[in-house]
Structures are given as C-alpha cells and as structure tokens.
Amino acid sequence: MKNSLLDIVLTQARHALGALRQESGNDAERERQLDDLFGAAQLVGDEELERNVRSIAEKITAHRDEGVLALEQFVETLGAQLRPEEDTAVEEFAEDAPTISKPNSPTIGDSSPTRVHRTARRNKSSFDTGEHLTLLNIFREEAREGLERITAILIANTGGKPDDDQLNELMRLTHGLKGAAGTVDLPQIASLAHEFESAIERIRTGQSQWSNSVRDDLVEIADGMHLSIASASGPDQAAAGVEGLRERLAGIGKAKADDAASSEIPTDEVPPLQITETHKDQSYAERRRPDRRGVDSPMLRVDPGRIDRLMNCVGELVFDRSRIEKRASKLASELSLIREAMDTLNSQRAGWVESGAPVRVDQLGSALAEIEGRLATIMPALEEELGRLGDDTSLLKRTEFALQDGLTAVRMQSVRSLFSRLTPQLRAMARQTNKQVRLVTAGGETEFDKTVADQLVDPLIQLLRNAVVHGIESPSHREANGKSAEGRIMVTARHESNVVVIEVSDDGAGIRTDDLRKRFVQDGRWSTEQARQASDERTLQMIFDAGTSSRSTTDQLAGRGVGLSTVRQTVTRLGGEVLVSSQPGLGTRFTMRLPLTTAVANAMLFKIGGHVFAISNVHVLDQSEIALPLRETAPDAQGRDLPLVPLHELLGFPMPANLRRCPVVLLEFMGKRLAISCDRIIGAREIVIKNLGPMLAGIPLYAGGTISPSGKVQLILDPAALVNLAYPGPPVKLTDIRQDSAEPPVARRILVVDDSKAIREAMRHMLLKAGYEVVTASDGASAWQSLQEQGYSAMVTDLEMPGEDGFTLLTRASKYIRQTQMRVLVISSKDTAENRKRAESLGASDFLAKPVRQQLLIDALRAAQRNT
C-alpha cells in the first residue's frame, strides 16, 4: 500500500508543517495547506483520522506552537506507521473481513490498521458493482475534462511560465482530480494527481524552475494519466499505468534544473506508454488546441434544449390522447343512438309478432321511415367523427416522428469528443516511433449517433496507428524527400445527405500498388495473370482483406493490413463502408461513410419455422426463388452461383412440407456475396434495433433483436456470421516468430491464462512493460468468461491447468477465435510435436516452451498480430 491514500495524507501533512514553520509564509497559504490536509484525511474515509486532523487544525488556530507540535507528532507517527505497514497490517487484517474493527484508543497509531483495512476492502468491494462502474464513468468524464483543461493551460503558455491565476487553476484542477480519484477507488491515480499538484506547487513557489521541457513533461504526464484513466476499470489496472509517471513527476524541476538538465530526467522504469523519449516535438504541443467539449464514457451529456423539445412532444402526446378520448366518447354516444334505434325496431317487431295480426305495408313503412330518419341523423355525425379521428391519428403520427427525432437528437454527439480521444493516443504513438506528427482535425461540430461514435474509436485509432507507423516517414527520410520533417495527419468529418463521412489522411509515403500486387502473388492469393489484370483501385481495396499483411518482410508495407480488416468489419457492421485511396509519395486517405444512427434501421424481414427474422437491408442485394431440394449454391440474377446458407438447417427448423420453391435472400457483406433460404419473405420494414442482453451477446449469429408491432421479439441475423459460414476461412498457420522489426508494440488488450499466479504475474509484468493492457485468468473457465466480457487482441494460454485445461478452452473458443480473429499463443512446458500440432489445429498462432522470456513473448505476439 505504498501509494495509498495515507501517503497523500502524510505528504500533505509535511507540506502543512513546512508552511507553518516558515516565518515568512502568509496565513492564507497556511490555511490552504491545512484545508488540503483535511481534504486528504477525508479521502481516506476514516473518522478517527479526520477527528485527529481536525483537532490539530483547531489547536493551530488557537495556539500555533502547540498545534505545530501536535502536527509534528502526527507526521512522525503516521510516517512510522506507513513504513512497516506493508508487511504486517495488510496481512493481518485481510483475514477478518466480515468485522470492521474500530480501535478504541484515540491515538493516531492505532487507527492506522483500520484505515489500511478499509482501503483494501474498498478496493475489493468496488470491483464488480454497477455502482462503481457508474462512478468510474462519471469520474472518467470529469477527469478527462480536467486533464484537457490542464493541458490547454500548459500549452497556452508558449512563451513563459503560467501566471498566478493559471497556476492556481492548475492546482485547483489537479486537486479536484485527486479527490475524485480517491473517491472512486483509484488510489494510484489520486496519488499521481497529488504528485502533479506538488510539482505545480513547487513551480508556483519558485522551488522549481519553469521551462519548456518541464511543460512538455507535464503535458505528457497529463496525457499518460488520461490514457490510464480511460482504460482503468479498477485500481489494479490504473496502478499499472501510472507507476512510471509517478517516478517521473517526482523528478520534475526538483533539482532547480535549467532547461538542458531537466530535459534529461532519468527514466529508470519504463511505463506502459513507453514515454521514454524526452526530446520530443514541442511544436506539436504548442499547436494543440484546447478542447473541452465532448464525452468519453458511456454517459451521455445532453443539451437541455433537446430535452425541452422532448418534453414538448410529451405535452403534444397528452393533447393527442385527450382528443382521441373525446372522439371515442363521441363515437360511444353515436353507438348508443344506434342501439336505441335497434331497440325500437326490435320492440316494434316483437309487438307485431305478439299481436299475430298481419302487418300492413303502411305500418311497416312508417316504422322503417322512423328508423331511417334516426340513422340519417347519426350517419353524418359518425362520418364527421371518423374524419376527425383520421386527423387526430395523423397528428399523433407527427408527434411520434417528432419524438423519434427528438430522441435521436438526444443521442447525437458531436464528433469533436471522438476526436479528442485521439490526441493522447497519437502523441503516444508518435513518441514510440520517434516520428514527428501533427494531428489536424476539421468538422468537429458534425453530429452523429453516440452509439456509432463509440464504436468508431477503435477503427479510428487503428487508422491513426497505420498512418503513424506505415504512412508517415521518419523525419530524416521526409526531409530527404523535400517534405517538412513533421508529418501531418488530418481527420475530418462532414455530413453528406444521410451519412457522416469521416476521413483520415496522411501526407506520408503512400501505398505502391505494384508492391501490393507482388505481395499478393507471393502469398498465392493472386496468380500473376490476376495481378496483371487487377486495376490499381481494386488492388488497393484488397488491403482490407484479412491477412493482407505479409508474413515476414520488414519493409514499409509490412503490416499494412494489420487491423484494417477489423476496421472494415466494424464499419460494415454499422451499416457503412470504408475505402482507401493513395498516391505513392504523397499520402494515403481512408474514407469512412457511416449512417447517422444505428438505432433505427431498414431491415428485410422473413419467416422461418413460423418465426420472423430480420437482416439489415443495407446488405440485401436481391431476392428470388430457387427449386427444391436445396443445393449448396443458389444463382443470382446474372446466373452466377453464390454459396447458400440453408437457414432452416442452421436455425433448426423443419422445411415446410408444402413449399414448392424456396425463397432466398441474396446478400453482400464485406465484398462477399451469398444467399440464405427461408420460408417466406415478408419485405422491408423500419425496425428499432435492441440489444439481446449479455446472456446472448456471445452468439455471433445475431446482431440484436427488435420488437414487432404486436410485441413479439424478432431476432436480427448478423451478416458477418453468415458470411463466415458461407466462406469458411483457411486454417491459421504457425508463423516464423523470430524476426526483428521496428514496429511498436500494439497497445492492446491481452488475456493471460495460467494456473500459476507467479507465472501470470510475471507475464503480466512483461506485457505491461511492453505497453500491452493485460487481463489474467487462472483457468479455462474463467478465461472463457473473460472472453465473453470483452474483446482481446490476443490470448496467451497455458495447457495444463486444473479444471478446464488449455485444449478444452481452445476447443470451446475455436468459433470465437475465428470470429474475432483473436491471436492465440500457447505456452507450455509440454513442448511436444503432438501438442504443437493440436494447438495449431485449434487456431493457435504459435507455441512457446516454458519458461518464457520477455523478448520471446513480445516477439511472438507481434509476429502473430502482424499476421492478422
């Protein structure tokens, strides 16, 4: 618990003591220090401690010297408490979790174990609860805004030191961040924020010199915190991200350093972000614009005006309802008039029947005339009411549309917030690759659905990574080619009729289509003839196909395809498309066209086994009928055979006996065409897409569900899954892992599965150091659960484990691995040819023998990921 909240209290207490001892210091300063100390004590959440601090503060106000003595004692006791704490207190109190022991003795010393205990317990308790997630989301949002503001202030001062107001604002912001982080159980972030605050404080008081390199360090650290917080879902993860930053901060300006010296701050510990390069590009930081808007979490911020519009709609709905109610009561009264007429007719007839006398024509005539007269008065009233009801219905429809529009508007988010997430990522990438890159964004005000925006983060980061790693050349290379040393990546957004267009372009090396042709021929994907005939355009679009990146070459193009297939998959799934254009030597441009919203979609509905299913109409090419019995293919309009996915068989419904010809829907998804069979095609409808919930989220066959007008749930099929069924992929090949490459670690999530805690932790450490985000699992079952919860770029698994072993896990996850293109590394002490072969057949990319060394592991992962 070295970095626990108590540390903050201790440091703060020391600060306060320093301020008090200073004869020259002013009262306001002392007060502030005491306030901060009290705030820090509150963070710990221990009443005992709070009481102690309060009494010390009171003493200081009353008798300063006495108070200072008490504070000195406090610092001493707390300091002594904190050091041995690691070995004893935590162990001791971790055991008796159910009872919270309250110390009776009022001394500071005794309360420490309670505090330790409580902090530990809180960490545990907050891991799974929804409440904590909500808190975290709120915190992320707030922290992001705070950090953006901090960087904005830092960068605003291109010339010199921030003025006092700005420094005070920086202090306030970091202080707020510290408090919030402590509250949401991220003590490491809290303590980092505390260090940050101290660094600013040192600058404010003149203990440290301000310099551009100090400023850049601070910006970098703020970025690092930003990234750590964005990925933190619990104290452990946050901790992993911030340790290096902490060391770094402690060093800032401490040695009264001048510019040159402070730019050489040693970094003995390499943080996951790989912020090791200190000679970074200052112009980048200077040009960065402050950007405070936007949302970086599942929370939604809405303009109150939009809510007001919705409220107006609700008001309209009330009117609509009361109008319709009025119509209903009018119609009811007309109905009663008709009933009266009926009754009269009935009693008349009954009278005639009773009397037994023959009815005269004139009697009959007058009776009928009376009824006719009555109906004649009712009819126009009825017609009028019906007409009004029609009007009311159309009014209701209008309100409904307004409501739908209003709700869509509520979900709309400006692209700016999406862009703001990219900046820290880009800076980290640029640092990793030693390239100078400037990000220019335009069209930040463009709005589209938040659910679409959220899913675009990963594709955009992937495209940026591609641009930085493969597009932008090294500064020297650029200058040699007559370009500026600094590369430029431009991300723009705009509306085009009903779609949002997002472009990522760079002014880098571009892609030479001839190189691609060669590669495809080498890969055996194309024959020489095909390569010769393929147009440049067609060749270029091939880079979105899985496996385009090369096996072993290390030239500029190697890895071009990494993740691009995932980009296309995400974009296509959202109902959009992505295209690439490139000019060798001048740059590359990726263009994504996306629908404004995914909540409402046009879908093709069809029936199988009495149940209605839907599929996004965007992917539907055509419909037709084919002869029975079904074959493996179905012809399209041009007579070409497309692979047929027999849905009856897939979904387990019998083929209707009376079906003469089978209706088929022809689809195109990610450039691949196929046909699916059904009982009856219903047609296209607007549907509202809903989530199927976590229990069914793991089934790749479904993209969601919708609710029919009569309230039944209808399932929406995922075209990606159908394509995978129609075009089963080739088996993954074991690859040559020994190769050196300048490619930076792809900072993505890895799942480590091993029954030994030591090995898990060791691998975790290795991977964290290399910039990966790591989640661990102790056996196959829990690994499978982790896979259901979130996606991973790779999984590293042991074979022999108690409970569910590695092979069982791979067997169970084989479909998942295929679907998600997750890379799998097997690490085992049983390095036999048989095991290797079996692992390979189950989708493993590589097999490493235990004990595994860091470099080997990282190399293998990189190699596996390059071969996506």
Partner 1 sequence: MSLAAWQSLLPPANASIRRTPALAPSKQTGTVSLAVGKKMKNVIVFSIGSTAYAVELGWIREVFTLAHVTPVPHAPTAIAGVVNFRGSILSILDIRGLSSRLAQASKGESALLLEVDRCQVALRAGTIDEVSSLLADSRTGALLDSRHRPVVLLDPPELFDAAMNNRSLALQAVASHEE
Site residues (vs partner 1, CB under 8 A): 39, 42-43, 45, 97-98, 100, 118, 121, 124-126, 128-135, 138, 142, 179-180, 183-184, 611, 650-653, 690-696, 698-699, 701-702, 705, 707, 710-715, 781, 784-785, 788
Phi/psi region, residue 857 (left: phi>0; alpha: psi -120 to 50; beta: rest), is: alpha
Residue environment code for 344-353, b if the CB has 16+ CB neighbours within 10 A, otherwise e: eeeebeeeee
Instruction: Measure Cα distances from 681 to 613, 642, 663, 749 in Å.
Output: 10, 19, 7, 42
Which tokens go with 285?
A: 């930081």
d(CA 33, CA 46): 20
Q: How far is residue 497 from each of residues 470, 591, 594, 595, 596, measured CA to CA in Å?
A: 33, 16, 11, 10, 10
Query: Would strands 487-496 and 437-442 be described as parallel, antiparallel, or unpaired?
Result: parallel
| Least separation in angstroms between CB 634 and partner 1 | 21
Q: How far is the CB of 178 from partner 1 (least distance, A)?
A: 10
Using DSSP, state whether 735 is helix, strand or coil: coil
CA torsion, ordered 802, 806, 808, 809, to nearest 10 deg: 110
Are residues 633 and 622 in contact, defined by beta-carbon separation less than 8 angstroms? Answer: no
- State the residue for tokens 């089963």: 728
Compare residues 723 and 848 and give the one whose CB is closer to partner 1: 723
- Minimum Å gap between C-beta 597 and partner 1 is 18
- Is the CB of 98 or the CB of 266 nearer to partner 1? 98
Q: How far is the CB of 689 from partner 1 (least distance, A)?
A: 10
Tell me the two tokens of residue 113. 């174990």
Minimal distance in Å, beta carbon 100 to partner 1?
8
Quote the least distance from Cβ 577 to partner 1, whole Å: 28
Q: Of 779 and 840, which CB lies nearer to partner 1 in the complex structure? A: 779
Shortest reach from residue 184's CB to partner 1, in Å = 7
If the CB atoms of residues 90 and 382 are measured against partner 1, the closer one turns out to be 90
Give the three-class secondary structure for 679.
coil
Smallest distance from partner 1 to CB 304, Å: 18
Residue number with CB closer to partner 1 (135 or 457): 135
Residue whose CB is less far from partner 1, 388 or 611:
611
What minimum distance in Å lies between the beta carbon of 645 and partner 1?
Answer: 13
Considering the complex, state which of residue 194 and residue 478 has its C-beta at the smaller distance from partner 1. Answer: 194
Kindly state the smallest distance separating residue 781's Cβ from partner 1, in Å. 6
Nearest approach in angstroms of CB 295 to partner 1 is: 16
* H-helix or E-strand spanning residue 624: strand 620-627
User: Can you tell me the distance from the alpha carbon of 516 to that of 543, in angstroms, rounded to the nearest whole number?
Assistant: 8
Nearest to partner 1 of 25, 39 (CB atom): 39
Q: Say which residues have a Cβ less than 8 Å from residue 87's Cβ, sequence separation at least 6.
A: none
User: In whole angstroms, how far apart are CA 685 and each of 117, 498, 663, 676, 715?
Assistant: 58, 18, 18, 18, 14
- The whole-angstrom separation of Cα 400 and Cα 649 is 40
CB of 752 to partner 1, least distance (A): 19
135/546 with CB nearer partner 1: 135
- Distance between the two ends of the chain, CA-based, in angstroms? 40
- Inter-axis angle of helices 833-841 and 806-820, nearest 10: 40
Torsions phi, psi for 438 (to 5 deg): -125, 135
Cα 740 to its chain centre, rounded Å, is: 32
Residue 477 or residue 690: which is nearer to partner 1 going by CB?
690
Residue 650 is encoded by which pair of tokens? 């897939």
Provide, rounded to whole angstroms, the least separation between the CB of residue 701 and partner 1: 6
In the complex with partner 1, the residue whose CB is nearer, 330 or 812, is 812
Nearer to partner 1, 503 or 779 (CB): 779
How many Cβ atoms are within 10 Å of 132's Cβ, its own excluded? 18
Question: Rounded to the nearest whole angstrom, what is the least distance from the CB of residue 135 to partner 1 in the complex?
Answer: 6
- In the complex with partner 1, the residue whose CB is nearer, 112 or 549, is 112
Tokens of residue 459, six digits: 């594709």
Q: Which long-range contacts (CB under 8 A, 24 or more apart) does 22-29 make?
A: none
CA distances from 98 to 41, 93, 269, 421 (A): 24, 10, 38, 42
> Could you tell me where the DSSP H helices lie in 679-744?
719-726
Closer CB to partner 1, residue 44 or residue 670?
44
